[in-house]
Structure 1
Amino acid sequence: MASCWKPTHSSLRCFLLLLLFVLTVEGAGVEVRNTSVQVMQKDGEFDKSYMDNVTSEVQIIYTFNHTVTRNKTEGVRVSVELLSENTKSPVLFVVRQKQAVLSFQVPLILRGLYQRKYQYTQVRRTLCQPPTLALSETQFFYVDVSTLSTSSVQYQLRVSRVESFTLQTNTKFSFNATPSQPQFFKYGFPDGVDTVIVKVNSEKNFPCSVMSIQDIQCPVYDLDNNVAFIGMYQTMTKKAAITVQRKDFPSNSFYVVIVVKTEDEACGGPLRFYPLSPDELLDAGNRSKTLEVVVSPAIDSEVYIIGMLFCLGIFLFFYAMTFILACFENKRMHKKREGLLNPADMSPAETASLLGKTPASPYEYGSIADNASTLSSGPATDSLASTEANYGYMERSLDTVGRCRQESLSSVEEDDYDTLADIDSDKNIIRTKKYLCVSDLARKDKRVLSKKYQIYFWNIATIAVFYALPVIQLVITYQTVVNVTGNQDICYYNFLCAHPLGALSSFNNILSNLGYVMLGLLFLLIVLQRDVVHKRALLRKEATALECGIPKHFGLFYAMGTALMMEGLLSACYHVCPNYTNFQFDTSFMYMIAGLCMLKLYQKRHPDINASAYSAYACLAAVIFFSVLGVVFGKGNTAFWIVFSVLHILFTMLLSTQLYYMGRWRLDSGILRRILHMIYTDCIRQCSGPMYIDRMVLLVMGNIVNWSLAAYGLIKKPNDFASYLLAIAICNLLLYFAFYIIMKLRSGERIRCLPLVCIVFTAVVWGFALFFFFQGLSTWQKTPAESREHNRDCILLSFFDDHDIWHFLSSIAMFGSFLVLLTMDDDLDTVQRDKIYVF
């Protein structure tokens, strides 16, 4: 219609257009009133309270001005309190600045969980301060007050300057905040500082609060319902800490925003009662919180380099020590071979020892009572003769053994497991003997068993590849989500000692897992060296390699080293973003390590009847499956704990039966009948004691431990089911290892210097490692805010925390434990297998 007022248009045309507009408005039913609103404008002064009234017909505008300088930032805070009661229409306050507009109503309505409403009649908001280009500039801003209430509404307005608006480095500042009175402050990076840590502390757990780091821009999101829109943020009870890097803020400065939440459930607190009426506005009450903020410089690049060199140096030290010991052992073996070439220079005892003809021990394997009666019956020669008569076999010459073994090796097939014709027919007879030697359970061909145990390594390598790839992809996604959304409640770090590097939020927790990988690789190299030496001895047809010592099968050792390396990789993946949903990444290969160690201990004395790789990994898969179920459904679920405890006890009993009878029982429809018959004949009719006393002692102790752990889980229902399951595995492993050591010493065997040193060293390191593990710097069993209450500063080189030290020590302790298993029976390398007892 503006064109109607041009001189070139006729007045008639303008009149028609005006008439058409009026008719359109009337046809739409729009009522046009000529209402007048009185606008009152007042010059405002800082630090002065204004008590005024406003109605729908009266609007008040306050004009303020202040001087802004480039080198000094001064905050402005607007405080409003509603004095009238039972006001149906809120009062709207609009603050108009040069580059921003801030508006809010009083009473201020904030929503909590399930859309609960909370109203606040006192509101205080800080105005954002965009940077100015001029050296000094006078800026105006206006506070508009209006309402739609027909009745007069009284309020109080006060605008004041914030003296401590800019935070200083390493200077603590205390303040109060409520849901309707948030606070934010500005911090600028000083010269030479690229990374800082913003720490906020409070003496009270509740009310729950939020700390946010936002760029210098308007508006500032400082309310409970919008604080998560931009920047980085954390919920907090007593502690919060965020590491801020200069590269993320182009203006070289940022805002530290503190908001008190309307409810405490996000921090683990109780949920408030719902109002009686859905339309009722619940008064939030007193939710004031006193907080303290301090910004301190983070570590520089030199500390990163020192930390990485320290981590690398620790584990390279083990490589160097291994190399020195290998050189020493090689030199000793060279002298030993030279001695074999010159037997005239050796004593008869040394010659007999090298040939494997060690004097027989008067100790006889079996119960203590059996041994006591044997030793007291007569001279040692009579005891030995009696024992040989009971065993029913004679000592064979080494030449005959070597010839038979060579014939067996030449005719074996890869898929033939029972190469001796009498294995199937007399294995039950052999295994029922009261006293067993390793030769009784090492009757299958070595090449076949080697292939059988190599399957452990290839299977775990395949599992590692298919397990690790999706894990890596998932944790990368987690880290990306954290970086994009700024929600630091997703990951449970120790934020007081979380040093970022690139896209990683806590590089130090990832770096400290390097030990698992490096020491796992070192263990594989040690096993490979032993494997090569043993194969060369077999090619030379050395008698000690063919028929002396514990049968050497290295497949399980290779699997253990691979599992240790994978534990380091998956633990690093877990610490990219540790949380409730991916904790099983950190524990899956721990179960495998514990299981493989138990299998290796059992394999040492039972090479023919040890579990196959497929059944062993199937059992470990079941354990991991229950671990996932426990994490997801186990928290406080009585039905789950009942099912798990029953299965735990049943599996313990089945495994005990398998171990006691050495595989000579069948799980079929007649199992109950055979059990009843055995109880009747052995316990009721004859009242005879157990045939295998030592095995029975081990299994009774194992059942007591496992039944106790099952009862503890059923009663306490621990939240951390994965750690509970791992504790079960470790307890059983330690029990079996202690039994092995005790029985080894009882059998007249000895522990050499190297494994003894490894045992003592490993026990000490495990003790220190567990101390640091139980410090508990974070826990995903609680809310992120409650987890941060356990956060603590770095304790090593200003780079590593307690959990990093746990990674260092536990990797060393696992490596030492593996060395113990590898070297524990080195004293038997020159002892014939028909003189090595089975237990």
Structure 2
Amino acid sequence: CCTEGVRVSVNVLSEQKETPVLFVVRQKEAVVSFQVPLILRGLYQRKYLYQDVSRTLCQPQTKKEVDTQFFYVDVSTLSRENASYQLRVTRVENFVLRTGEHFGFNATAAQPQYFKYEFPEGVDSVIVKVTSAAKFPCSVISVQDVLCPVYDLDNNVAFIGMYQTMTKKAAITVQVRKDYPSHSFYVVVVVKTEDEACGGALRFYPYSKDEPVDQGNRLKTLDVVVSPAVTSQAYVGGMLFVLGVFLSFYLLTVLIACWENWSIHLCFAPAVAFLWQPLANLCCSLAGAPPPPAPRITPDSFLGRPAFNSYSYGSFGESFAPRLLQPRGPRLDSLSSVEEDDYDTLADIESDKNVIRTKVGLHAGGQALDLSKYDNLEMGRSMNIATIAVFYALPVIQLVITYQTVVNVTGNQDICYYNFLCAHPLGNLSAFNNILSNLGYILLGLLFLLIILQREINYNRALMRNDLQAVECGIPKHFGLFYAMGTALMMEGLLSACYHVCPNYTNFQFDTSFMYMIAGLCMLKLYQKRHPDINASAYSAYACLAIVIFFSVVGVVFGKGNMAFWIVFSVIHILSTLLLSTQLYYMGRWKLDSGILRRILHVLYTDCIRQCSGPMYVDRMVLLVMGNIINWSLAAYGLIMHPNDFASYLLAIGICNLLLYFAFYIIMKLRSGERLKLISLLCIVCTSVVWGFALYFFFQGLSTWQKTPAESREHNRECVLLNFFDDHDVWHFLSSIAMFGSFLVLLTLDDDLDTVQRDKIYVF
């Protein structure tokens, strides 16, 4: 109906602080009143005075365009003296915003501005973008329904509609069907009386409580543009893209499994190899296996039964090549940490580990062969993380639903730290794309669990048929930690999605809790490969992870600028590093009791003072010295710099330790004469490349809850993928793939030892 606005501007020329002039504008459906000088209240009930006041009149709906609208201005004052003022009524140019066209204007705290936007045909959703070259003064952007009155002052702009505080950028996505069935809305811009809400300093004014302060103009120049948001086709395309990318991993897994089974059949079935010798040679060559020997033609061969049983059938993810069992020699020279030939019970083994583990060279023979002793431990880890996941996720889901409900009901978009320039709402969710991009963690975690299940089935079948290779060779096949890792990856996807329902500083631990668990489980798995009999119990492992999460929450809430917290955390960090170093160096054969100081002094006297001798375990000492240097450096960095993002700082500590131990494991593996198989090398290289790209997108920093919501929006950027996903969504895609690849690295890292007797495998 109405295509132009009317603006009333007033300037009182005489001094009227004690007896202001009251202006009342009466319309058909609304009354607007204000006094000049205008007094607005700020933080701590501060009073601010403005002499120039302008207000845009509400535009009620009319049935006909030719309808005439009247309004009346009443002026009154309690002053006994004459009041001199100027009253000006003007038309507002470009009162109705046009789609895709920029419009610049000025606003002050006493001269708010608002404009009308009408949805064109075929447009169901738009995004309102407001920008300013200057950071201050702080302002508020509000989207309100076309109703009278319009709430366009600092003290009432939050009463209705959706609103955001703003320094340089603001963006609000508006859906016509959901929010504004009248197919139109107001874009309201209000300059705040103070800048503290946007991260600015609270200015000091020498004033008494009842004396208002003249603020001057506090002018802010802004630019607004309303653009169409993404269509429903973009939502469908985004969902299909996510499903296509991650379901392709399932397809690739099936193809690899089929290729492996086919190559094994050609390599291991002598009758088929005899009939298709050229094809069998080519297949085995591509698979990295030696060509099958020419079999003897026997009746069994033509009946489809192998004439000999010298080969062992592999499982998914292992080498495609047939593995000949090495001849079992005498184990007189074995230096295993536990020789089960000499002990009858687990208690006997435990009582003499102190003696056995003092040997300089250790092999995995004894401790690796006795698998049954650790099955309950492995099952405990897998079941515990599932229990933790259920009890942790349920209240998280309930909390984020409450957050989202509060945002939808109040319209306060400062509660959640989205990338508003690329936040696509769906239903009650404000940023559906940030939630959808976490689907990769869940799908790839499930795929990893299926791979582990297939490996475990094959391994158990080999044990049931008493396969010598499964019984006597290779690193012990414990699958509990792998199940825990896959479950943790799925839970990381679920909790990250919950965090992105409404990201803010109070729920950031949801996004990182299972990242700590993944890092801890990976380190436990690396250590378990060579020390299955001295691994931490499920209860102690998860108790340590619970302590880490506890410090994460405390650090986020109380760590910012709190020197006492950083001193306590740094001391605990260093002491924990020393205790863990001692545990690793002595392979668990030390006790933390009242005699610990006496034993430490005795060791220092005998090894450092009485005679200067080098460390007995040089390799372990080098690892632990490097680990202590890195951890002490990280502790010093935290103590000096006080990083605002404590959760990421804590996660960086875990990742640095994991990378250090992984590098040590690879170096020691190569030093021991072992090798990395092709599939492991490919996983390491590809995973490293993907991690590099993932970290690039992670450090783009589209938002930050360490600052105010208005300052966080300064980092917002447009979508970068399919006009639907932003940089952080790409981080979700790549990091889920990289984590899955990292798990495959741990899974296949020691496949080269599957044909090596366990009493020949080194412990380090």
Q: State if a TM-score over 0.5 links the two structures.
A: yes
Who is 1:778 aligned against? 703
Letter in 1 for 2:325: G
Task: State whether structure 2 residue 544 is matched by structure 1 residue 544.
Answer: no
Give 3-state SS (helix, strand or coil) of 2:97's partner: coil
Separation in structure 2 between the aligned mates of residue 472 and residue 455 of structure 1, nearest angstrom: 26
Q: What is the CA-CA distance between 1:454 and the residue it aligns to?
A: 1.1
Who is 2:90 aligned against? 160
1:772–1:805 Cα contact (<8 Å) kept: yes
1:75–1:162 Cα contact (<8 Å) kept: yes
2:334–2:365 Cα contact (<8 Å) kept: no
Who is 1:219 aligned against? 149
Q: What is the CA-CA distance between 1:87 and the residue it aligns to?
A: 3.9
Who is 2:414 aligned against? 489
Out of 591, 597, 613, which is 1:666 matched to?
A: 591
Separation in structure 2 between the aligned mates of residue 529 and residue 243 of structure 1, nearest angstrom: 47
Give 3-state SS (helix, strand or coil) of 2:679's partner: helix
Q: What is the CA-CA distance between 1:332 and the residue it aligns to?
A: 3.1
Structure-2 change in CA distance of 1:335 and 1:671 (3 Å): farther
Separation in structure 2 between the aligned mates of residue 624 and residue 420 of structure 1, nearest angstrom: 34
Task: State whether structure 2 residue 248 is matched by structure 1 residue 322.
Answer: no
Who is 1:734 aligned against? 659
Q: What is the CA-CA distance between 1:328 and the residue it aligns to?
A: 1.5
Who is 1:208 aligned against? 138
Separation in structure 1 between the aligned mates of residue 582 and residue 268 of structure 2, nearest angstrom: 46
Out of 711, 714, 717, which is 1:792 matched to?
A: 717
Who is 2:190 aligned against? 259
Separation in structure 2 between the aligned mates of residue 632 and residue 119 of structure 1, nearest angstrom: 37
Separation in structure 2 between the aligned mates of residue 689 and residue 745 of structure 1, nearest angstrom: 24
Give 3-state SS (helix, strand or coil) of 2:385's partner: helix
**Stretch of structure 1 that moved more, 748-757 or 205-214:** 748-757
1:358–1:831 Cα contact (<8 Å) kept: no
Q: What is the CA-CA distance between 1:440 and the residue it aligns to?
A: 3.7
Separation in structure 2 between the aligned mates of residue 178 and residue 346 of structure 1, nearest angstrom: 93
**1:451-499 residue CA offsets vs partner (Å, 9 max, x unmatched):** 2111111000000000000000000000000000000000000000000
Separation in structure 1 between the aligned mates of residue 196 and residue 732 of structure 2, nearest angstrom: 33
Separation in structure 1 between the aligned mates of residue 185 and residue 96 of structure 2, nearest angstrom: 10
CA RMSD of aligned residues (A): 2.3
Out of 706, 709, 729, which is 2:634 matched to?
A: 709
Who is 1:189 aligned against? 119
Q: What is the CA-CA distance between 1:267 and the residue it aligns to?
A: 0.2
Separation in structure 1 between the aligned mates of residue 96 and residue 74 of structure 2, nearest angstrom: 27
Who is 2:302 aligned against? none
Separation in structure 2 between the aligned mates of residue 339 and residue 430 of structure 1, nearest angstrom: 46
Separation in structure 2 between the aligned mates of residue 828 and residue 392 of structure 1, nearest angstrom: 17
Out of 614, 619, 635, which is 1:689 matched to?
A: 614
Letter in 2 for 1:477: T
Letter in 1 for 2:411: G
**1:511-540 residue CA offsets vs partner (Å, 9 max, x unmatched):** 000000000000000000000000000000
Give 3-state SS (helix, strand or coil) of 2:10's partner: strand
**Stretch of structure 1 that moved more, 615-624 or 141-150:** 141-150
Out of 314, 326, 331, which is 1:357 matched to?
A: 326
Who is 1:169 aligned against? 99
Structure-2 change in CA distance of 1:136 and 1:692 (3 Å): same
Who is 1:269 aligned against? 200
Who is 2:171 aligned against? 241
Task: State whether structure 2 residue 364 is matched by structure 1 residue 438.
Answer: yes
> Which has the greater radius of gyration?
1
Who is 2:264 aligned against? 333
Aligned pairs for 1:112-191 within 5 A: 112-191=42-121
**1:221-275 residue CA offsets vs partner (Å, 9 max, x unmatched):** 0000000000000000000000001111121100000000000000000001143
Q: What is the CA-CA distance between 1:685 and the residue it aligns to?
A: 1.0
* Structure 2 residues not aligned, in runs of 5+: 274-291, 297-307, 313-321
Q: What is the CA-CA distance between 1:433 and the residue it aligns to?
A: 0.8
Separation in structure 1 between the aligned mates of residue 519 and residue 389 of structure 2, nearest angstrom: 16
Give 3-state SS (helix, strand or coil) of 1:153's partner: coil
Out of 610, 627, 630, which is 2:535 matched to?
A: 610
1:116–1:274 Cα contact (<8 Å) kept: no
Separation in structure 1 between the aligned mates of residue 367 and residue 408 of structure 2, nearest angstrom: 58
Give 3-state SS (helix, strand or coil) of 1:591's partner: helix
Letter in 2 for 1:138: T
Letter in 1 for 2:71: F
Who is 2:690 aligned against? 765
Separation in structure 2 between the aligned mates of residue 198 and residue 389 of structure 1, nearest angstrom: 79
Separation in structure 1 between the aligned mates of residue 32 and residue 64 of structure 2, nearest angstrom: 24
Out of 278, 295, 307, which is 2:238 matched to?
A: 307
2:417–2:704 Cα contact (<8 Å) kept: yes
Q: TM-score, normalised by structure 1?
A: 0.84
Q: What is the CA-CA distance between 1:442 and the residue it aligns to?
A: 2.4
2:12–2:37 Cα contact (<8 Å) kept: yes
Task: State whether structure 2 residue 519 is matched by structure 1 residue 591.
Answer: no
Q: What is the CA-CA distance between 1:340 and the residue it aligns to?
A: 12
**Stretch of structure 1 that moved more, 236-245 or 420-429:** 420-429
Separation in structure 1 between the aligned mates of residue 469 and residue 745 of structure 2, nearest angstrom: 22
Task: State whether structure 2 residue 348 is matched by structure 1 residue 422.
Answer: yes
1:441–1:609 Cα contact (<8 Å) kept: no
1:207–1:261 Cα contact (<8 Å) kept: yes
Q: What is the CA-CA distance between 1:345 and the residue it aligns to?
A: 4.3
Task: State whether structure 2 residue 459 is matched by structure 1 residue 534.
Answer: yes
1:77–1:159 Cα contact (<8 Å) kept: yes
Letter in 1 for 2:155: N
Letter in 1 for 2:140: V
Separation in structure 1 between the aligned mates of residue 387 and residue 271 of structure 2, nearest angstrom: 44
Q: What is the CA-CA distance between 1:766 and the residue it aligns to?
A: 0.1
Q: What is the CA-CA distance between 1:86 and the residue it aligns to?
A: 4.8
**1:325-368 residue CA offsets vs partner (Å, 9 max, x unmatched):** 111222233345536999974899x97994532799xxxxxxxx
Letter in 1 for 2:364: V
Aligned pairs for 1:90-101 within 5 A: 90-101=20-31
Length, aligned pairs only: 723
Out of 59, 65, 77, which is 2:7 matched to?
A: 77
Structure-2 change in CA distance of 1:711 and 1:662 (3 Å): same
Letter in 1 for 2:162: M
Who is 1:649 aligned against? 574
Give 3-state SS (helix, strand or coil) of 2:269's partner: helix
Separation in structure 2 between the aligned mates of residue 484 and residue 717 of structure 1, nearest angstrom: 37
2:25–2:73 Cα contact (<8 Å) kept: yes
Separation in structure 1 between the aligned mates of residue 358 and residue 759 of structure 2, nearest angstrom: 16
Who is 1:283 aligned against? 214
**1:600-655 residue CA offsets vs partner (Å, 9 max, x unmatched):** 00000001111110000000000000000001100000000000000000000000
Q: TM-score, normalised by structure 2?
A: 0.92
Who is 1:250 aligned against? 181
Q: What is the CA-CA distance between 1:725 and the residue it aligns to?
A: 0.2
**1:532-558 residue CA offsets vs partner (Å, 9 max, x unmatched):** 000000000001111100000000000
Separation in structure 2 between the aligned mates of residue 733 and residue 628 of structure 1, nearest angstrom: 22
Structure-2 change in CA distance of 1:340 and 1:550 (3 Å): farther
Aligned pairs for 1:25-40 within 5 A: none
1:556–1:596 Cα contact (<8 Å) kept: yes
Separation in structure 2 between the aligned mates of residue 768 and residue 811 of structure 1, nearest angstrom: 12
Who is 1:40 aligned against? none
2:422–2:718 Cα contact (<8 Å) kept: yes
Structure-2 change in CA distance of 1:358 and 1:836 (3 Å): farther
Who is 1:44 aligned against? none
**1:164-207 residue CA offsets vs partner (Å, 9 max, x unmatched):** 10000000000000000000000000000000000000000000
1:571–1:586 Cα contact (<8 Å) kept: yes
* Structure 1 residues not aligned, in runs of 5+: 1-69, 361-384, 409-417
**1:98-150 residue CA offsets vs partner (Å, 9 max, x unmatched):** 11111101110100000000010100000010111123111211111011111
Who is 1:479 aligned against? 404
Q: What is the CA-CA distance between 1:277 and the residue it aligns to?
A: 1.6
